[in-house]
Structure 1
C-alpha cells in the first residue's frame, strides 16, 4: 500500500544573536566554518545555532564528530545514510570482535542521530522519513548483533550454522520488532520492543545446552551489544516485556510454546500489539512463517467487541497510572496523555481489530498509512483522517523535539512554564501563545475522536441500569406492564438466563452483563410489533451462541444496536432466523458493512475475493461463500427494515450478490469437476438468469430461476480428464454440481433454492441445452408464457468471456424474434384470466395475485414488449421495460408513470411484509406497530393512507391491463397453456 510519510514540521525559530548556547557551539566550530565553501558555511552556522540554542545532546554529537557533521551538511543526510548502511551488514561486520562491533554500532547511532536531526530541523523531513531512518538503523544493528551472537554460539559449539557467510539464514532465531519498531515508526530517543523466539524445526542447537538455554544466552548477549552504555554511548535500549507472560517465560522461547500460549491464553492487548509485529532480524523467513501461523489469533474473522473494551480499559489504566486528567500544556504527556499519540494509534488499531479479520487490507502496521486506508474504505470520513493525521504528525514532531534536547526517552512537556517558550521556538513558533493554541487544538481534536469510539448514549435514551424484579411472578407482572401478553412464559425464559441455562451464560461476566441489559432489552422489545415473539426469538438466538461475553459487552456499549436487535426479533422474523443461525452477523452492523449500500459489482467481487483469499479446500469454499452471502443478504434486510433503502435498490443489491456468488461458484465447480473429468476442449458453459434474478429484482427470500447453456465443438467425443465423460453427460453432471453448490445445506446453511423449470422442455428437457437446440426451441416449440419469461433473461456467468458474449448474442436474437402481436396479447390475457380463476388471491393484501397487483404489471410489461419489439437493447427489469414501452409509444406517459408508481408501492410493501410478517398479513389482526412501520416505509402518514394508495392504484393497473393486453375475464379458456407453435419470423 502507499506509504504516508506525514507532514513536515515548521523549522525551528532562529535563536537570538546573543543566545549563549548558539554562540559557544559556533565558536567551537569556527575553524570548520572558515574552511567551508560559502554556501556550506552559511548552512553550518544556521544549523549550529539551532543545535546550540535548543539541544545540548545534538551539540555534544557535533563536538564528538565534527567531520561527520560537516559531511552531513555538505552532502546531505540521505547520501550519508546511503553510504552508512552497507558498512553495518553482517558481512561487513563479520570479522569484528565484540568490543569493536559495539563501537561501530554506537558511532553509527550517533551518525544517524545527527543525520536525522539535520533532515528534520534543516531540511523539513516529513515525520515518517525521520522515523524510517531510525527504524532502519535498529534493523541493521539488530541484524549485525544477531549474526555476531550466532557466530559466537557456533564457535562455542552450542549451535550449527546453516550458512557461515549468512549466519541468520535458516538459523531459526526469530527477532520480532514490536510497536513503533515493527511499524517503522521509531521516535528519536526510542527504546525498541522485541520478542525473541526460536523455531525448533529450523534451529540447530548441538545439545551442549538445552535449546532454551542456548537462545536465552544469545538473546542476552544481543541485548548487551545494543544497550550497554560505553564511552561511545549506547545504540538502543531494549525492552523484552511484550513476550508471552514475561514474569514467568524466558527472554527467548520456542515458537511451539508461543503458539500454544497465544491460542489458549493470549489476551486482547497482545492481539493489538501483534498488529505491528514484524521480523526485523535473525531468520526472517521463519519469522514470517510464525506470524502466518498465529494469524488466526491476531486477525479473528468475527468482531470481538470485548477487545475494543479491553483497549479502552488499557488506555484508561495508562491515564490513571500517569495521573493524566484534563488536557494542558505544562506537564502534558504527548504520547500517553489525553489526545496523545497513543490515542491515534489506538483509534487505528481498534478499527483493525474490528474488521482486519475480514478485510486483509486493514492489516498494515503503519498508523498514517492505515488512516489513509480507512478513509479509502469509507470507514472514516476524510475530514476525520485529516484531523488525526495532522494531529499525529504535530505530536510526533513535538515528541522528537522533546527527545532531541537531552536524548531522553521523554514525552512530557516541562512543568516549568519558563521552559515552554524555548520548546515553542524549537517547534517553529515565535509566539508561545500560538504554540499553546496549536497543541491544545490537536490534543482536543484527537481526544474527541478517540472518545467517540466508546461514547455511550446520553440523555433520556441512555441505557437504564434499573434492576429486574426478583422471582418469576414479579418478572411476569413486570413484562405484562411493559406490554407483553404472556408474562409467565417470558418470566420463565428470563429465569433460565439467570441460572445460566445456555452455553453463552457459562461465564460469570456474561450473566452479570445480561442482568443489566435485560430491563433495557424488555423496554426495546415492548416497542416492537410482537414483544412476546421477539423475546422468544431472542431466546432461541441465545441458545446458539457459543459464548456470550462479547455479544453482551457489545450490546452494553451500543444502545442503537440493542434497539435494532429488538426490532429484528419483534418485527422481522426472517432476519431473526438468520441471526439465530449465525449470531455473528451482528458484526456487519457494528463494523458498518450492513449500513453501506451495495452498488458496485467490481467492488463486491473484490470484497468476496478478499473474504475467500485464505480458502483452498472446495468444501470450505462452499461454507465461506455461504457466510459471505448471509452477511450481505442480512445487510440488505437491515437496510430495508430501517428504511435506508427501497425495494428497487435492494433488489439490485441482492442481485449483485447473487451474480457474484454464481460467478465464483461456476469457476470453483468447473475447476473441481475438471480434477477428475477434465474439460471439453473448445466447449463452453453459461448460466442464464430468469425471473427476479434476470430482472435484478431479487428479494431476501427469492429462489433462482436458472437455465444452463452449453456448446460442444463438432466431432468432440468426450472430455479430456482421467475419467472422461461424453459431452451430454459432462454438462449434465456439471450442471448438477453447480445446483448442489448453490442449494446444498452445509454447516453454514444454504444459499438459494434453484428452479430449473424454465429450461427448454421444462422438467423433461436436458439440464444443459446446446446453443442450437435453444434457438430451435424458441423458434418453434416455446409457449407464449416462455417467450414472456425470456424477456427477463440475461447471462449471469459463463466458463469464459467469449462464450458469455456468444450466449448473450443468442439470447438477444431470441428476444427479437418477430411474433404475431395479436396472438401474444390474447395469450397473455388468457393466462391472466386462468390465474384469476385457478389461483385467486388469498385476500386483499395478496400483492402479487390481486387484480392490479404485481403479476398484472409484469404481464403488461412483458406482453407489450413481445408484441411491440424494437431495435434498442431490451432491459430485463420491469421498471425499465415500462420506460422503454413509453419511449416506443406502446404506453402513454401517464400510464407508464402510474405503472411504475404502483410497482414501487406494491413491490416495496411486499418486501417489507415478507421481512416482518412472513407470507400471511391480515390488517385486522396485525399489530399497530407493524402498520406504523409499513406506513413509514411507504412515506405516508398512517396505515389508512397505505390502504388508500393501494385501493387507488390497483383498479387503474387492471384498467391498463384490459386496455393494452385484453380483458382477463373475457379471454377464452381453452384449458391449455397459452400457446405453443407461434409462427416466428426472423427480424
Structure 2
C-alpha cells in the first residue's frame, strides 16, 4: 500500500504525543518471565548475550504487565521472540514473507498449510507488537504489516483450493505453476483490509466472485456449486480455530444481498445487482475494494465495470444522507450517547474512528465521480489529498490525522490485551488507567484529557459536514404557502411578484408533479418545505418573476429532485445562491438549466476556488479525460469540463469573489488549456490517418481578448493558424499522404470543428478566423514565412494594431512554439511611421463612430471614451514604441499601460486615467455580460442589479457610478484626441485615399477592428 511521504513522516507515536515505547515494569515483578528466558536459552542451545537478554526481558515485562495474549505467544514460541528482538521486527518480517507465498506453500497438505499460517500469524502478532510497543513504529507500518500478512495468507489459501479442485478434475488451471493466474476466482478484500489498514485483532471482510468468461470448470458441479465449496474451504483455512489458533475471522456479509445470495457469486450476477439494486452503503464499501487473491486481473476488470455504480458523475446528496443515517443507526444500536471514557467505543462511538472514515467517504461519494484522485481507499492518504486540494483546512487535517492515529493506537492496545475484536474501553476506572499506562501515559488524568480532546475534535468536524451553512433559526422560516392558488397569489403579490397568478400556477405545477424531479413523493414533501423560503429568496433578487421562470426551466430538466431538495433544505446559503443566479445572472441560469449538474461544483467547493495558474488546470483537465474511450468522448468531456470551469468563474464574479481582471485571466487559462489539449487530440487522430510531416510545425495564435488574456464568459476566440515545413518537403508519411498545405489546412479545419461543433454536451467556443492574413480571402493556414512577409508588406494598420495582442497559445512542439513567438516579437518591433499610425487609427475610430455609433454611455465598448478608445490609445502607443521596448512585450491592456508609464510614453496622470477607466469599463462590461446581457437599459434594471454594478465599480450606489462614467468617458475621449487624433476631423480629412488605406483585403471587418 503506497502512503504519501507526508503521512509516513508525520504518524509516529512520538509526533502524536505518545511515548515511543510502552512503560517497562521491573522484570522481577513477573515470575513467568524467567521461565520464558529459560525457554529461549533451551531453544538457542545456550544463554543469550547479556544485552540481548536485557532487551528480551524488557519486551517480556511489557507483555506480562499488559497483555496475557502476547505473553502466551511468547511462551509458546520463545525462539521467534528472540529472533524478533535480535534482528528487529521489520527485518524479521521481511525474512518471513517469502515463506508464505503460494509458491513456498505449494507442497503443503491442508492441515500443514493451516498450521503454517497459524504459526505465522502468531509470529506476525509478536513482531508487530514489538515494533509498535518498543520500536515506536508509525501507525501505518503496523497496519501495513498486518494487511500484508493477510494478503499472503489469502493467496496461499486460494492457491491451495484451486490446486485441490484441479487435482479432483473439477477445473482446469491456466498455469499449474501459478494457480491464481487467469483462474477466474476473485477474492475481493473490503474494508480495512482493502485499504491496507487492518487493526491488530481485525477480522477481514471479503467478497468472493467468479468470472464465467474466465473459469474453466470441468466437473459435474455447476460453477456456483464449485466455487461455493472452494470458498467454504478457503474460509476454513483462514478462520477455523485449531490447537494452533486461527489466522483471521472472515466476514462475507458485504456481498450482494447476503441473506439470499450464495457466498460465491458470478460477476455477471453481481454486476446486474449493483447496477440495478445496489445501495449507497454498498457504494461506500466498494471505495475500499481491492482484488487481493485469485485472479487479480479479472478482479480489476470487474471493479472497472461497476465503476459507474460506485463513482457517479454528479453529486449524490442522498448518499450523504444515507451515510448520516448509517451513523445514526450505529449510535442507536450500540446505545452510544455522549462522549465519555469508561465503556466508550473508540470505533463506533461519538468522535470515534468510524467518524473519521465517514468524513473521508462522504467527500469521496460527493466528488469522486468527477475527481479520480479522490478514489484512494486509504483514510490517511485521502486526508492528505483533501488538504492538498483545498477541500480540508490544514488545521482540520492535522486534527483528524492526530485523532485518528491516537484512536487507532488505542484500538491496538485494547485488542492486544486478549486478542479480542473489541473497541470498548473498560468500565472500571482502574482498568482505564491500566490502558492509559499501556498507551505510555504515567498519569491517567492526562490520558483521559487527551482521549476526550481527540474524541470531541473529531465529533465537531464530522458533525459540521451535516450542519447547514447558515445559523438561521428554523422557526424564522416563513409559513408554508397556501394550497389555494388565489391565496397563494395574494401572498406572492405581497412579496413583490408582479405576476403572482402566474407564479402561483408554477408552484402548483410543482405540487402536482409536473416534472420528473417532483414525481417522487419525498421530493414533493421536501419542496413543500423549502418553497416559502425559496420564494422569499427569489423576491430579494429584484426580479422575482423572471427568476422564478428560470428556476422552473432549471427544475424541468432535472432527472430527479430528492437529492437537490434535500441539500437546499439543509443549506440556506446554497438556496440563496441559486435564487441569485436565477434572478441576477440569466447567462448562468441558462447554463445551469442546460446542465443542472453544474451545481455540483458550487456545493463541492470547486466553483469558489480561484483559477490562477495553468499547471493545476491542466492536471484537472487530464483528470477529467482519464476515462475517455474515443475521440467523441474527448470532445464531450472537454465541453463538460469547460462548462464547469466557466460557470465557476461566473459564480465568483457574480459574488464579488474576484474582479474582472482575475476573471479574464481565469477564463483565458481555461481556453489555453482546452486549445492545447484539443490540438494534441486532433493531431493524434489526424496522424493516425495521414501520418506526420517530418520536421513540420503547427501553431495556434490567439488574438483579441484571448491574446490579451481578457476573455469574458461570452467571448469567442480569435485565432490564426501558421505552419512550417523544411524545404523540399513533399507531404506526410501516413497511409493517406497529403501535401503540406492541404495537410495543415485540414488539421486546422479539424481543430476548429473540435472547438465549435455542437455535440450532445453543447458547443465549446465560437471560433473567428477573420484576423488571419488577407482575412476571409486568405488561406485558412499561413506558412511561417508567409505570415511574416504579409505583416512586413501587405498588412494594414488595423491589422498591426490587432497584432499587439497576439501570442502563441498552442503548438505541436516547444521548438516551433518558440519560432512562432520569435516571429511575432520581430513583427511587433518593426519600425513604423508614428504620424501615419496615429492618423490611420484616428480615422478608423471616426469611421466606427459614424458607421457603428454607440447606443448610449452604457455601450461600454463603442461609446466615446469607452473600451475601444482605451485600447486604441494603448495599442497605438505600443505599436510605435515596440522597437524600443524590452522583452517580453505585454499583450494585456493593463500591462501595456504599466509598461508605457514605466517607459515614459504616458505620464502618471494619463496612465492613471486610462487604468481607472479600463477597470471601470471592463469590470462593468464583464458583469453586464453575465447579468443583464445586451443592451443594458438602466430604467428597466432592478435595484439588485444596480447594486451589483455599483459594487463592481467600488462606489456607494448607482448614482455614484453614473457620476463616475460622466467623469471618465469624456476625459478618455479627450486623451484620445491628444495622443492619437480627433476621430471626427481625421476621418473627414482622410476620406478618399486615406479611407481606402484602412481597407483590408476583403473589406473592413468592424468587429475584428473593435477587438
If the length of structure 1 is used for normalisation, what is the TM-score? 0.97
Contact 2:36 / 2:78 at 8 angstroms: preserved in 1?
Answer: no
Of stretches 458-467 and 140-149 in structure 1, the one that deviates more from structure 2 is: 458-467
Deviations 1:246-274 (A, max 9, x none): 11111000011111111111111111111
Deviations 1:757-788 (A, max 9, x none): 11111111111111222122212221111111
Superposed displacement of residue 721, structure 1: 2.8
Superposed displacement of residue 977, structure 1: 5.2
Superposed displacement of residue 461, structure 1: 6.1
Q: Which residue of 1 aligns with 2:646?
A: 633
Q: Which residue of 2 aligns with 1:430?
A: 442
Q: Secondary structure, in 3 states, of the residue corresponding to 1:740?
A: helix
Q: Which residue of 2 aligns with 1:24?
A: 32
CA distance in 2, matches of 1:72, 1:713: 69
CA distance in 1, matches of 2:503, 2:779: 54
Q: Which of the numbers 704, 727, 747 marks the counterpart of 1:714?
A: 727
Superposed displacement of residue 406, structure 1: 0.8
Deviations 1:546-584 (A, max 9, x none): 222222222223221111111000000000011011000
Q: Which residue of 2 aligns with 1:63?
A: 75
Q: Which residue of 2 aligns with 1:144?
A: 156
Superposed displacement of residue 667, structure 1: 1.4
Contact 1:785 / 1:978 at 8 angstroms: preserved in 2?
Answer: no
CA distance in 1, matches of 2:789, 2:162: 77
Q: Which residue of 2 aligns with 1:965?
A: 980
Of stretches 958-967 and 23-32 in structure 1, the one that deviates more from structure 2 is: 23-32
Deviations 1:160-198 (A, max 9, x none): 222222211111110011000001111111000000000
Superposed displacement of residue 95, structure 1: 2.2
Contact 1:780 / 1:981 at 8 angstroms: preserved in 2?
Answer: no
Superposed displacement of residue 534, structure 1: 0.8
Superposed displacement of residue 660, structure 1: 0.7
CA distance in 2, matches of 1:26, 1:473: 92
Within 5 Å, which residues of 2 pair with 1:295-694? 295-460=307-472, 462=474, 464=477, 466-694=479-707
Contact 2:725 / 2:740 at 8 angstroms: preserved in 1?
Answer: yes
Of stretches 951-960 and 863-872 in structure 1, the one that deviates more from structure 2 is: 863-872
Q: Which of the numbers 960, 967, 970 marks the counterpart of 1:952?
A: 967
Q: Secondary structure, in 3 states, of the residue corresponding to 1:687?
A: strand
Superposed displacement of residue 143, structure 1: 1.0
Deviations 1:629-680 (A, max 9, x none): 0001000000000000000111011001111111111111122222323333
Q: Which of the numbers 712, 718, 741 marks the counterpart of 2:754?
A: 741
Q: Secondary structure, in 3 states, of the residue corresponding to 1:29?
A: helix
CA distance in 1, matches of 2:271, 2:962: 63
Instruction: Output the aligned Cα RMSD.
Output: 1.8
Contact 2:542 / 2:583 at 8 angstroms: preserved in 1?
Answer: yes
Structure 1 residue 783 corresponds to structure 2 residue 796: yes
Superposed displacement of residue 235, structure 1: 0.8
Structure 1 residue 847 corresponds to structure 2 residue 857: no
Q: Secondary structure, in 3 states, of the residue corresponding to 1:749?
A: coil
Structure 1 residue 889 corresponds to structure 2 residue 904: yes
CA distance in 2, matches of 1:813, 1:214: 77
Superposed displacement of residue 31, structure 1: 6.1
Q: Secondary structure, in 3 states, of the residue corresponding to 1:281?
A: strand
Superposed displacement of residue 712, structure 1: 3.4
Deviations 1:74-104 (A, max 9, x none): 2221222122222222222222222221111
Q: Which residue of 1 aligns with 2:23?
A: 14
Going from structure 1 to structure 2, the CA distance change for 1:284 and 1:891 (only over 3 Å counts) comes to same
Structure 1 residue 872 corresponds to structure 2 residue 886: yes
CA distance in 2, matches of 1:394, 1:784: 72
Q: Which residue of 2 aligns with 1:74?
A: 86
CA distance in 2, matches of 1:823, 1:86: 84
Contact 2:169 / 2:219 at 8 angstroms: preserved in 1?
Answer: no
Q: Secondary structure, in 3 states, of the residue corresponding to 1:197?
A: strand
Deviations 1:377-397 (A, max 9, x none): 121122211111111110000
Contact 1:11 / 1:427 at 8 angstroms: preserved in 2?
Answer: no
Contact 1:178 / 1:277 at 8 angstroms: preserved in 2?
Answer: yes
Of stretches 720-729 and 90-99 in structure 1, the one that deviates more from structure 2 is: 720-729
Superposed displacement of residue 326, structure 1: 0.7
Of stretches 141-150 and 642-651 in structure 1, the one that deviates more from structure 2 is: 141-150
Deviations 1:506-539 (A, max 9, x none): 2222222222221121111111131111110011
Deviations 1:344-395 (A, max 9, x none): 1111111122222222222111111111111111211222111111111100
CA distance in 2, matches of 1:260, 1:573: 42
Deviations 1:319-365 (A, max 9, x none): 11111111000011000111101111111111122222222222111
Q: Which of the numbers 94, 100, 118 marks the counterpart of 1:106?
A: 118
Q: Which of the numbers 136, 146, 149 marks the counterpart of 1:124?
A: 136
CA distance in 1, matches of 2:465, 2:337: 19
Deviations 1:673-700 (A, max 9, x none): 2232333332222111110001000000
Q: Which residue of 2 aligns with 1:985?
A: none
Superposed displacement of residue 62, structure 1: 1.2
Q: Which residue of 2 aligns with 1:275?
A: 287
Q: Which residue of 2 aligns with 1:927?
A: 942
Superposed displacement of residue 28, structure 1: 4.9
Superposed displacement of residue 10, structure 1: 2.4
CA distance in 2, matches of 1:529, 1:445: 42
CA distance in 2, matches of 1:981, 1:31: 101
CA distance in 2, matches of 1:116, 1:130: 6
Contact 1:71 / 1:80 at 8 angstroms: preserved in 2?
Answer: yes
Going from structure 1 to structure 2, the CA distance change for 1:15 and 1:722 (only over 3 Å counts) comes to closer
Superposed displacement of residue 888, structure 1: 2.0
Superposed displacement of residue 309, structure 1: 1.4
Contact 1:826 / 1:966 at 8 angstroms: preserved in 2?
Answer: yes
Q: Which of the numbers 254, 262, 265 marks the counterpart of 2:274?
A: 262
Deviations 1:905-940 (A, max 9, x none): 111011111111111212222111111111222222
Superposed displacement of residue 26, structure 1: 4.2
Q: How many residues align?
A: 981
CA distance in 2, matches of 1:978, 1:848: 24
Going from structure 1 to structure 2, the CA distance change for 1:465 and 1:39 (only over 3 Å counts) comes to farther
Q: Which residue of 2 aligns with 1:938?
A: 953
Of stretches 84-93 and 641-650 in structure 1, the one that deviates more from structure 2 is: 84-93
Q: Secondary structure, in 3 states, of the residue corresponding to 1:708?
A: strand
Segments of 5+ residues of structure 2 without an aligned counterpart are 1002-1011
Deviations 1:202-254 (A, max 9, x none): 11111411101100010011111111111111110000010111111110000
Contact 2:21 / 2:136 at 8 angstroms: preserved in 1?
Answer: no
Of stretches 752-761 and 729-738 in structure 1, the one that deviates more from structure 2 is: 729-738
Going from structure 1 to structure 2, the CA distance change for 1:12 and 1:981 (only over 3 Å counts) comes to closer
CA distance in 2, matches of 1:291, 1:545: 29
Segments of 5+ residues of structure 1 without an aligned counterpart are 983-987
Q: Secondary structure, in 3 states, of the residue corresponding to 1:827?
A: helix
Q: Secondary structure, in 3 states, of the residue corresponding to 1:796?
A: strand
Deviations 1:298-328 (A, max 9, x none): 1222221221111111111111111111100
Contact 1:338 / 1:443 at 8 angstroms: preserved in 2?
Answer: yes
Q: Secondary structure, in 3 states, of the residue corresponding to 2:208?
A: strand
Superposed displacement of residue 803, structure 1: 1.3
CA distance in 2, matches of 1:828, 1:622: 40
Contact 1:192 / 1:236 at 8 angstroms: preserved in 2?
Answer: yes
Contact 2:235 / 2:250 at 8 angstroms: preserved in 1?
Answer: yes
Q: Which residue of 2 aligns with 1:899?
A: 914
Structure 1 residue 197 corresponds to structure 2 residue 212: no
Within 5 Å, which residues of 2 pair with 1:767-778? 767-778=780-791
Of stretches 453-462 and 286-295 in structure 1, the one that deviates more from structure 2 is: 453-462
Deviations 1:853-888 (A, max 9, x none): 111100100111112232313211111111111122
CA distance in 2, matches of 1:537, 1:207: 65
Q: Which residue of 2 aligns with 1:979?
A: 998
